[in-house]
Amino acid sequence: MPVVRTIFLQFHSASISPFLSSAIPASNNISEKFTVSCCSLASPVTVVNGNVEKMPSERNEVRLGLPSKGRMATDTLDLLKDCQLSVKQVNPRQYVAEIPQISNLEVWFQRPKDIVRKLVSGDLDLGIVGLDTVSEYGQGNKDLILVHEALDYGDCRLSLAIPKYGIFENINSLQELAQMPQWTPERPLRVATGFTYLGPKFMKENGLKHVTFSSADGALEAAPAMGIADAIVDLVSSGTTLRENNLKEIEGGVILESQAVLVASRKSLNQRKGVFDITHEILERLEAHLRAADQFTVTANMRGNSAEEVAERILSQTSLSGLQGPTVSPVFCKRDGRVTADYYAIVICVPKKALYKSVQQLRAVRNLFLYTTLVCSRIHVYDRLI
């Protein structure tokens, strides 16, 4: 289950708590990465991605970047919908949209990597992308804040994978790969990847010396069989693509565990009017939804002499006694012209991980009574944050 591991906004003060050094490590100004010196001109030409100004640009609207394409796009809209935030696009070919429930917020559809770049350049204030994209394109920039780091979709890992066959047949760990005599300065381990920041950083941190990287986009898994590379660094989810291409992951080879995250620009949060409040609003809705998604209501009808007696029976069970509740309500029926309540409907709220045990214990109690139904359903909206 998605545990919401980090919420970085402190709502009672205007400050942002210190955070996140592991996922987004050392500071690094991303605009340096896009600075190109053009040798044929007398003076160098600087190419930056987005806004060239150092300060946030003049605008009054708060901007949220959402993935425009790929598997994250639909899932992100679905999540927002579950949080009662409907993204209204005037037409599907337009890149700007609004969320009527939040005023002064513009939604911009962008490629995930461009969302990260534009957060850094100050052209977006908030964004939803995979942690892998934040880490790769954010390159440790301290301006990027993970406001929510577990949105519970887009789960995958960035992994090093090698062939199952040939010289790699008996290699099953990063250590064994590093110790292979084949890798020399003249013939290094050749790795194909789209993650040209995280890949080399990982190899360096793990002491692999003779390694070269080639950048590639898509269908990376074919590179070893084509003789273009010895290994790959790519996203893995089910593992099917690796398996079908005769590749394997190795012990110690996971570079990053990723899922969708809500990212903000620290500068925007501190300096741009409205960003903090809107972030708070979105975060509360996300939290309410994600917490509720882990909770189930269990309803059972039981026979008893009184509501108190039924409640006592239920609370005598260890798994059920710690829960708030139960709610016990009489179920009325008319018998021989008289209205009576022989049955009681009990409702308890159970976390997903306690569901099986709770249902088992309810069944045990239920055996003492006549029963009609036992219904479990996911709670869709929590009415308030705990």
Ligand X SMILES: O=P(O)(O)OC[C@H]1O[C@H](OP(=O)(O)OP(=O)(O)O)[C@H](O)[C@@H]1O
Ligand Y SMILES: Nc1ncnc2c1ncn2[C@@H]1O[C@H](COP(=O)(O)OP(=O)(O)OP(=O)(O)O)[C@@H](O)[C@H]1O
Under the rule (CB under 6 A), what is the footprint of ligand Y?
Answer: 70-72, 112, 130, 132-133, 154-156, 218, 235, 237, 258
Among 181, 218, 227, 337, which residue sits at the site for ligand X (rule: CB under 6 A)? 218
Residues of this chain, 219-248, that bind ligand X according to CB under 6 A: 219, 221, 234-241
130 binds, among ligand Y, ligand X, none (CB under 5 to 8 A by kind): ligand Y
The pair of three-digit structure tokens given for residue 336, joined into one six-digit string: 């021989």
The pair of three-digit structure tokens given for residue 133, joined into one six-digit string: 């994209």
- What whole-number distance in Å separates Cα of residue 358 and Cα of residue 376? 11
Nearest to 108 by CA among 86, 123, 130: 123
234 binds, among ligand X, ligand Y, none (CB under 5 to 8 A by kind): ligand X
258 binds, among ligand X, ligand Y, none (CB under 5 to 8 A by kind): ligand Y
- Contact between 354 and 343 (Cβ < 8 Å): no
Nearer to ligand X by Cβ, of 30 and 236: the residue is 236
Residue 132 beta carbon to ligand X: minimum distance, rounded to whole angstroms: 10
Nearer to ligand X by Cβ, of 192 and 290: the residue is 192
Quick one: which H or E segment has residue 381?
none
219 binds, among ligand Y, ligand X, none (CB under 5 to 8 A by kind): ligand X
Nearer to ligand X by Cβ, of 42 and 226: the residue is 226
Residue 235 beta carbon to ligand Y: minimum distance, rounded to whole angstroms: 4
Nearer to ligand X by Cβ, of 25 and 239: the residue is 239
160 binds, among ligand Y, ligand X, none (CB under 5 to 8 A by kind): none
Residue 220 beta carbon to ligand Y: minimum distance, rounded to whole angstroms: 10
Nearer to ligand X by Cβ, of 112 and 326: the residue is 112
- Which residues share a beta bridge with 375? 299
Nearest to 263 by CA among 8, 2, 5: 8
- Contact between 322 and 362 (Cβ < 8 Å): no
Query: Hey, which bits of 194-279 come out as E strands?
Result: 211-215, 231-236, 247-258, 260-265
Mapping DSSP to helix (H, G, I), strand (E, B) and coil, where does residue 29 land?
Answer: coil
- Contact between 258 and 146 (Cβ < 8 Å): no
- Contact between 84 and 101 (Cβ < 8 Å): yes
Residue 73 beta carbon to ligand X: minimum distance, rounded to whole angstroms: 12
Cβ neighbours of 354 (radius 10 Å):
16
Give residue for tokens 């565990």: 257
Nearer to ligand Y by Cβ, of 237 and 372: the residue is 237
Residues that bind ligand X (CB under 6 A): 218-219, 221, 234-241
